[in-house]
């Protein structure tokens, strides 16, 4: 019998009390929307957070509305629309008013970190665009064992978190290594990014307008068309997250037999159309596999099709369209204030390199090996992270499962 099991047997033989999250946590509504965010430097010291997947969106020099958090006084940022949340123990600002800052209620008999772990066990998926903390999430109940048990469980789960942090640090190092070689191999040493052939490798440069045509995503669709679809389509998230389009996570849409909709073909480059920041506009994904059926593109993105693939190796461009030289050029085509949109007219003027086909394949092969270390779920660090996450979730759920005390 483990020490924790013995404590549970001794201190709560008849079960433990359960309380609603709203009974043990207070929330604070943030000031909505920031005016600037950028990469970190000494002039922009404060991180800008979201509770979604990106977490740290950028940094700001704005001094007002900073939320103070430390190791001793942490907070949980909670997204009211998606129910995602993060533990934060450093000063920060938030991106929008959809966030809640969660902290312990005064007098609550809890260890805050224990509540954070218990929240991870709540099985709930947001299904519609509505605010959840007050209406739903704060009503979920979690076990509240004696403080000594809470402390022991936190100590145990913190060890798993430390291992995860080590793997994440290693992954970040590998990503920087990949980005270094991507920059080295794909950026002209002269710093040129134009069609004047001035780079030191004498690559041919051509504009998108010279190389192919743009096309749009699905049109004329309603919510009903996405409930029981007969065809596959590519989501915005698939494009934003994957340099090489994933065909195993397509979603369905209803497309009639006589509808005129654009289909996506092998070698096409797909781009997101708009975002909250210029940095995230026109994120790219290239179809490097031959599809076995018609697939369509969501209406919030646009596609580019090369006139010919005779001199094009699509795997090369999945890397090039994510390199900093190209991303820097893309940012100049975005305009907006709270929402940024790509100017297709300006985008079509951007130039991209056309090395020899053998050179494209050579560079793609090198970068594919580095990329596998940072993205592959069958080998590399992500595989280790996936295995570690499964172990963590198993022990977390085991440690946080208690019989309910009779009332």
Q: Which pTM does this prediction carry?
A: 0.60
Whether 200 has a pLDDT exceeding 60, the answer reads no
Element housing 362 (H / E)? helix 357-375
Note whether 225 and 237 are same-domain residues: yes
In the predicted model, what is the mean pLDDT of residues 43-50?
82
Q: State residue 215's pLDDT score.
A: 96
Q: State residue 230's pLDDT score.
A: 92
In a domain, 190, yes or no: no
Q: Is residue 4 exposed (0-12), middle (13-18) or buried (19+ Cβ within 10 Å)?
A: middle
Over residues 361-378, the pLDDT tens digits come to 999 999 998 887 776 555
Diameter over CA atoms, the chain: 79
Rounded distance between C-alpha atoms, residue 366 and residue 371, angstroms: 9
pLDDT bin (cut points 50, 70, 90) of residue 79 is confident
> Please, how many CA atoms are within 13 Å of residue 179, restricted to the half-sphere of its CB?
11
Q: State residue 133's pLDDT score.
A: 86
The total number of residues written for the chain in this structure: 407
Note whether 328 and 219 are same-domain residues: yes
Helix (H, G, I), strand (E, B) or coil at 289: coil
Note whether 329 and 211 are same-domain residues: yes
Whether 52 has a pLDDT exceeding 80, the answer reads no
For the chain, report the end-to-end CA distance as a whole number of angstroms.
28
Rounded distance between C-alpha atoms, residue 32 and residue 35, angstroms: 10
More confident residue, 176 or 25: 25
* Candidate from 155-164, 226-235, 295-304 with smallest mean pLDDT: 155-164
In a domain, 276, yes or no: yes
Whether 99 has a pLDDT exceeding 60, the answer reads yes
- Count of structural domains within the chain: 3
What tokens were used for 400? Answer: 């946080």
Q: State residue 82's pLDDT score.
A: 83
* Candidate from 119-128, 140-149, 197-206 with smallest mean pLDDT: 197-206
Over residues 383-395, the pLDDT tens digits come to 777 777 888 888 8
In a domain, 197, yes or no: no
Q: State residue 38's pLDDT score.
A: 57
Rounded distance between C-alpha atoms, residue 32 and residue 65, angstroms: 9
Q: State residue 36's pLDDT score.
A: 53
Note whether 346 and 291 are same-domain residues: yes
Note whether 211 and 345 are same-domain residues: yes
pLDDT bin (cut points 50, 70, 90) of residue 128 is low
Note whether 325 and 214 are same-domain residues: yes
* Domain ranges, residue 302: 204-354
CATH code for position 341: 3.90.220.20
Q: State residue 234's pLDDT score.
A: 96
Note whether 384 and 261 are same-domain residues: no
> What percent of the chain is predicted at pLDDT more than 70?
90
Note whether 345 and 234 are same-domain residues: yes
In a domain, 187, yes or no: no
What tokens were used for 69? Answer: 């958090």
In the predicted model, what is the mean pLDDT of residues 30-37?
56
The rounded mean pLDDT for the chain is 85
Over residues 218-273, the pLDDT tens digits come to 999 988 899 889 999 999 989 988 999 999 999 999 999 889 999 999 999 999 98
Note whether 336 and 378 are same-domain residues: no
More confident residue, 389 or 189: 389
Q: State residue 343's pLDDT score.
A: 87
Whether 35 has a pLDDT exceeding 50, the answer reads no
């Amino acid at each position: 019998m483990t020490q924790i099991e013995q404590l549970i047997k001794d201190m709560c033989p008849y079960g433990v009390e359960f309380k609603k999250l709203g009974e043990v946590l207070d929330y604070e509504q943030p000031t909505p929307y920031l005016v600037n965010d950028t990469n970190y430097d000494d002039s922009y010291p404060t991180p800008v957070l979201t509770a979604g997947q990106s977490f740290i969106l950028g940094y700001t020099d704005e001094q007002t509305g900073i939320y103070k958090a430390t190791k001793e006084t942490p907070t949980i940022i909670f997204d009211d629309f998606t129910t995602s949340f993060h533990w934060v123990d450093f000063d920060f600002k938030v991106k929008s008013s959809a966030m809640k800052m969660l902290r312990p209620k005064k007098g609550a008999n809890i260890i805050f970190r224990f509540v954070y772990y218990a929240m991870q066990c709540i099985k709930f998926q947001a299904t519609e665009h509505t605010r959840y903390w007050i209406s739903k999430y704060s009503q979920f109940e979690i076990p509240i064992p004696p403080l000594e048990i809470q402390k022991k469980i936190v100590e145990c789960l913190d060890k798993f978190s430390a291992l995860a942090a080590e793997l994440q640090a290693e992954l970040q190092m590998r990503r920087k290594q990949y980005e270094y070689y991507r920059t080295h191999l794909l950026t002209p040493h002269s710093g040129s990014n134009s069609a004047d052939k001035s780079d030191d490798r004498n690559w041919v440069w051509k504009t998108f307008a010279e190389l192919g045509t743009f096309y749009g995503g699905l049109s004329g669709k309603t919510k009903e068309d996405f409930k029981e679809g007969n065809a596959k389509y590519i989501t915005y998230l698939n494009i934003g997250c994957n340099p090489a389009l994933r065909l195993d996570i397509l979603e369905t849409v209803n497309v009639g037999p006589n509808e005129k909709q654009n289909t996506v073909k092998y070698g096409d480059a797909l781009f997101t159309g708009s975002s909250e920041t210029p940095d995230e506009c026109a994120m790219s994904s290239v179809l490097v596999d031959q599809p076995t059926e018609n697939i369509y593109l969501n209406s919030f993105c646009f596609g580019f099709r090369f006139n010919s693939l005779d001199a094009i190796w699509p795997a090369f461009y999945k890397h090039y369209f994510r390199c900093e030289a190209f991303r820097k050029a893309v940012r100049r085509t975005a305009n907006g204030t709270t929402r940024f949109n790509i100017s297709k007219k300006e985008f079509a003027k951007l130039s991209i390199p056309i090395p020899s086909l053998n050179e494209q394949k050579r560079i793609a092969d090198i970068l594919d090996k580095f990329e596998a270390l940072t993205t592959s779920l069958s080998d590399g660090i992500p595989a280790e992270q996936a295995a570690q996450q499964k172990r963590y979730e198993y022990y977390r759920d085991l440690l946080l499962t208690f019989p309910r005390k009779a009332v």
